[in-house]
Amino acid sequence: MANYTEKIANIEAEMKQLENRKREYLQKEKAAERKARTNRLCKRGGFLESILPGTIPLTNEQFESFLKKTLLTDFSRRTLAAVGAENAVPAADNGVDAATRSNTAPSPKPAGAAQRGNADGNANGANGARATN
């Protein structure tokens, strides 16, 4: 009987060790996810500041307002959907043609067509420049 009691105690100790190891791995996984997110945010923020240096002196509230006014438009949503669709194309189709398509100028709008964009009516951003991939 004592033999069974010792085995049960050993199994319970082993279970505690496994639970602790599981908790440790979950913490490492969360830390890696936070690190990847921080890295992604820094890279994307740096890229945004490099193509729109006029955003650097803005307060956080002004920057948020700018992003909402420029990015929460139908044009931006369609562009994002198109970029996402390009990334979903099989690797065989991602040759020179795909790179050329993403770098072509947008087709001109007919005269009198209403522009959607920021307060200035400029759909390409504050400085009028078009970002290229």
What is the tens place of the pLDDT at every residue in 75-126?
999 999 999 998 886 644 444 444 444 444 444 444 444 444 444 444 444 4
The whole-angstrom separation of Cα 125 and Cα 15 is 58
Dig out the tokens for 129 from the structure: 């420049």
pLDDT at 1: 65
Residue range 14-64, pLDDT digits in tens: 999 999 999 999 999 999 999 999 999 999 999 999 999 999 999 999 999
Dig out the tokens for 10 from the structure: 């050993």
End-to-end Cα spacing for the chain:
73
**What are the start-end ranges of the H helices in 52-129?**
60-71, 74-88, 96-102
pLDDT at 90: 60
Residue of 131, 127, 121 whose CA lies nearest to 79? 131
The whole-angstrom separation of Cα 73 and Cα 36 is 28
User: Residue 9 above 60 pLDDT?
Assistant: yes
CA 24 to chain centre: 28
pLDDT at 114: 42
Burial 33-50 (b: 16+ CB within 10 A, else e): eeeeeeeeeeeeeeeeee
